[in-house]
Amino acid sequence: MYKIAVVGDRDSILSFKAIGVEAFPAETAPEAEATLKKLAEGEYAVIFLTEQYAQPLKARLDEYAERVTPAVILIPGRGGSLGIGLANVKEAVERAVGADILGE
């Protein structure tokens, strides 16, 4: 059976434990990348990742975007949203539908 995980700074991810998601704190981008790689090779189908690591891990995220699992979903971190997660959703919808139906 597949699992769900969340990777990011401790303050941003600990609340996910309350709903049964496995939390993996990472305080640096290399630490987050190592954890993400380990989880992706395991039984994790969905991995939430805080947006603060999206830019440093862009190459790794692009690699996972081409695969069925894991689905890596960006979430805001303790500093608030950087808009990267929403931009990714808009891009995916536009690719699927052929037009920007979400608007500004």
Per DSSP, 102 falls in state S
Q: What percent of the chain has pLDDT over 70?
A: 75
Q: Which residue has the higher pLDDT, 41 or 104?
A: 41
pTM for the complete prediction?
0.78
> Per-residue confidence at 102, pLDDT binned at 50, 70, 90?
low
Alpha-carbon distance values, 45 to 24, 70, 80, 83, 102 (Å): 15, 4, 25, 23, 26
